[in-house]
Amino acid sequence: MYRITIVLARKIVLALGLCLLQILCSQNRASAQTIRGQVIDAATGVSLPGVTIVVLDQEPLLGTTTARDGTFRLERVPAGRHTLRFTFVGYEPHYVRNLLVTSARESVLEIALRESVTEMEEVVVRPDRQKDQPINYMTVSSSRLISMDEASRYAGGFDDPAALATAFAGVTGSLSDNAVVIRGNAPKGVQWLMEGVEIPVPSHFGNILTIGGGGITALSTHMIADSDFYTGAFPAEYGNALSGIFDLNLRSGNNRQYEHAVKVSTIGLDFASEGPLRALPGSSFLFNYRYSTFSLIGPLLPEGAEGIRYQNLTFKFNLPAGKSGIFSIWGIGADDWSGQSADSSAENWSYNQDRESIESPTRFGAAGLRHRIVLGDRVWLTTSLAASGNGLRYELDRYSDDGASLSPREYLRSETGKLSVKSVVNFRVTSGHTNRSGVTVNRLGYHQRIRFSEEPGTPLQTITDASGHTFHYQVFTQSRVDFDPITITAGIHLQHYGLTGSTSLEPRAGLQYLIGKNLFSASYGRHSQAEPIHIYFSHPDNRNLSLTQADHFVAGYSRMLTPQLRLNVEVYYQYLSNVPVIPDSSFSTINLELDWLARDRMTGVGAGKNYGIEWTLERYFSGGWYGLLTSTFFESKYRGGDNVWRDSRFNRNHATTMLAGKEWEFRGDKRVRLLGISGQVNLMGGKWISPVDEVRSHELREVRYDEIRAFSSREPPVIYAHLTVEYRSITRRFTSVWSMQLLNLTGYKEFYGYRYNLQQNRIEEDRERIMIPNLGYKIEF
């Protein structure tokens, strides 16, 4: 610990010295930068000339209009945060609020304006479009915009969209993984998309801690643009998901000048770069690479965690081709390693984990080619070709009771790959009526091998050994019709899963009704999802299972109480059917968390229901202040193969988040400085677990749970507290950022269940205190 402290102190002193040197070398000119971009029609993708852009907080007003091709350029905008307003006859006003302008990089925006269907002679007062509204205009409820600015600025966000989402109503998570639980559904029900294509969970150590989650995000604040997040009844274009959607967009790199960023922190090194491709006019590149190790903060992590390491790379090439449209090439990939060594001395064993050796490399990747073209003044077409895959290997060996031999206990190898073709056409049928339709074809490849030893020292038995491929087809069409004050969306999604021969027809519909400042909404959607592929190979009969289905019903109310204060309330009901269960058992895939060793015949007669009320009170960033207060009260029940209704594993019953932040701005002749501080507190009920079978556990000297009384016990309530402090110095040539992100400031001990104490022959709670301090310095130039 002393050596680690000295090394860390040296690095901090060195970084302080570099920062001081930069300040001494800075120029005596005020910091300013360019804001530029393009404005298009949201429905057709057509460029809009003549749009008026004004920087609202500047005196005198700073503004411009878009050129014939929809482009605009605002030069010498002072560094700091600004709000921009975009207005055009026949379209709803659009606001970009609290845009952070720095000297190190241009702000390049793509703005999509929505057509207004209000008659010109009428005067209708509509609330401004706020940043919580999603980019996808086919959405009427249970959705919001997420930004990487918030992921880095909000306490607990930790530069991770999944961690940021846990502050929203209806969403819960934990410190031990970044799995997202939405309205009581298992993490496997969430789908991730990048550039419109489904990708594996973008996390390091994916599916090791929980199926559908991972350890630490592989996403970067430099790469991700504003994106959408859905918690229920999502539009018809989304399929193969039960509970939620992360629809991520990648930024396009600067096509006029080179910009770079380097960050050094206690968890690793991060480098990002972007700029023009000189050989191809108008094109650009953008990439980010991260290499991390937890060695510096190992004493604050669970035993063995200091040895884990990971790296990831994300890139995008944007290649405009004139009238032939825009091509883009993108990709993301990660490579990880975790494990531990066993102690061969039996007298040193306190718990079974002390005599276990674990090796677990994981990886994932996705890459794609995307083409977007505008066809006339009413239609745009997007086509994507993509390849993605992930893999993990988990080997656990355990020493015999006398420590004489080390024998295999568990072996897991799971590899999946996917080739995807997706095409989507967006068509404005009439003024106020837009249709979006598309088709996706996925070729799924898989290799699954799972082996397990029932008793220590006995040979491994094969549970699953399967290789091959299958196809997954999806087709959708949806429309949005606006006639103030009512908006109606309707669509249908059809998918066919070749592995099981299952087909699902899924209607979707939504309604919004605006009365003054009061916005009412209602939506319905049927959604289906294939289970993790190892479920279908755990028994030959399981390939007869249907897709798991969920019917979502949502009603909502929203109102702007003040120009900066918004209230949103939603009630929801979700009924799940065709759920795989084991006959005469409490098992259900509704509770799937880390169940790789399932090996029984399943039938699709299980069911589940989730219902609750959630509300959000949010103060938008204004005058340096922002805040968020969310609360959810809900129930999550399931019916297993024994036909008994029980609490599901993820039924926390209640969850409350309180978040507040303040940013101070200090302007000078030489530089602009920003100091921000944010705090968050999360309160939630504990998950449900099965009680310990004490007799069996003492016989085996290893914890066993009583599944006859499944999910009749409860984990302790949870309270997390997080803190983020950021200091940003903006000079003419560069921007430097000092940051401190503290997760679990109060030292809450995460509950993992129970373990058997071999020394004292007793059953104990298995709890670990996870505190992650990420101290970092970043320079942008």
What are the boundaries of each domain within the chain? Answer: 33-116, 144-780
Handedness of CA 602, 604, 606, 607 (dihedral sign): positive
The pLDDT score that the predictor gives to residue 598 is 84
> CA-to-CA distance for 26 and 346, rounded, in angstroms?
62
Question: pLDDT band for position 296 (50/70/90)?
Answer: low
Question: pLDDT band for position 130 (50/70/90)?
Answer: low
Question: pLDDT band for position 26 (50/70/90)?
Answer: very low
359 pLDDT higher than 60: yes
Which stretch of 20-34, 144-158, 506-520, 541-555 has the lowest confidence by average pLDDT?
20-34
* Mean pLDDT score, 37-64: 90
8 pLDDT higher than 70: no
Q: Which residues contact 123 (CB under 8 A, 6 or more apart)?
A: none
* Mean pLDDT score, 244-263: 96
The pLDDT score that the predictor gives to residue 25 is 42
Greater model confidence, 517 or 169: 169
305 pLDDT higher than 80: no
Give the pLDDT confidence of 70-129 residue by residue, as tens digits.
999 999 999 999 999 999 998 989 999 889 999 888 999 999 998 886 543 333 434 444
Q: Which residues contact 318 (CB under 8 A, 6 or more apart)?
A: 252, 253, 255, 283, 284, 285, 286, 326, 328
Which stretch of 110-119, 185-194, 216-225 has the lowest confidence by average pLDDT?
110-119
Question: pLDDT band for position 412 (50/70/90)?
Answer: very high
> CA-to-CA distance for 459 and 426, rounded, in angstroms?
57
* Mean pLDDT score, 717-722: 96
* Mean pLDDT score, 17-29: 42
631 pLDDT higher than 60: yes
Give the pLDDT confidence of 697-719 residue by residue, as tens digits.
999 999 999 989 999 999 999 99
532 pLDDT higher than 50: yes
The pLDDT score that the predictor gives to residue 457 is 73
The pLDDT score that the predictor gives to residue 402 is 86
Domain spanning 33-116: CATH superfamily: Carboxypeptidase-like, regulatory domain (2.60.40.1120)
Q: Sort strands 52-55 and 62-65 into parallel, antiparallel or unpaired.
A: antiparallel
The pLDDT score that the predictor gives to residue 23 is 41
Q: Which residues contact 290 (CB under 8 A, 6 or more apart)?
A: 218, 220, 268, 269, 270, 271, 311, 312, 313
The pLDDT score that the predictor gives to residue 24 is 40
The pLDDT score that the predictor gives to residue 124 is 40
Question: pLDDT band for position 13 (50/70/90)?
Answer: very low
The pLDDT score that the predictor gives to residue 765 is 95
Contact between 245 and 230 (Cβ < 8 Å): yes
* Mean pLDDT score, 158-167: 92
* Mean pLDDT score, 526-532: 97
* Mean pLDDT score, 248-271: 94
Question: pLDDT band for position 27 (50/70/90)?
Answer: very low
* Mean pLDDT score, 545-567: 96
- Structurally, at CATH architecture level, domain 144-780 sits in Beta Barrel (2.40)
Question: pLDDT band for position 131 (50/70/90)?
Answer: low
Round the average pLDDT of the chain to a whole number and report it.
Answer: 90
Question: pLDDT band for position 353 (50/70/90)?
Answer: very high
Q: Decide whether 33-116 matches 144-780 in CATH topology.
A: no
Long-range contacts of 79-82 (CB under 8 A, 24+ apart): 79/30, 79/31, 79/32, 79/33, 79/103, 79/671, 79/672, 79/730, 80/665, 80/667, 80/672, 80/674, 80/730, 81/621, 81/663, 81/665, 81/674, 82/35, 82/55, 82/56, 82/57, 82/58
Residue 571 C-beta-side C-alpha neighbours within 13 Å: 2
Which stretch of 115-119, 663-667, 689-693 has the lowest confidence by average pLDDT?
115-119
Q: Which residues contact 307 (CB under 8 A, 6 or more apart)?
A: 294, 295, 298, 338, 339, 340
> CA-to-CA distance for 158 and 153, rounded, in angstroms?
8
Q: Which tokens sit at 350? A: 């306190």
Please state the separation of Cα 562 from the chain's center in Å.
Answer: 30
The pLDDT score that the predictor gives to residue 208 is 86
The pLDDT score that the predictor gives to residue 301 is 56
307 SS3 class: helix
The fraction of the chain above a pLDDT of 90, given in percent, is 77
304 pLDDT higher than 60: no
Residue 127 C-beta-side C-alpha neighbours within 13 Å: 23
Q: Which tokens sit at 245? A: 């959607």
- Picking from 774, 656, 649, 631, the residue whose alpha carbon sits closest to that of residue 720 is 656
> CA-to-CA distance for 581 and 215, rounded, in angstroms?
28
Range among 161-165, 381-385, 538-542, 621-625 rated most confident? 381-385
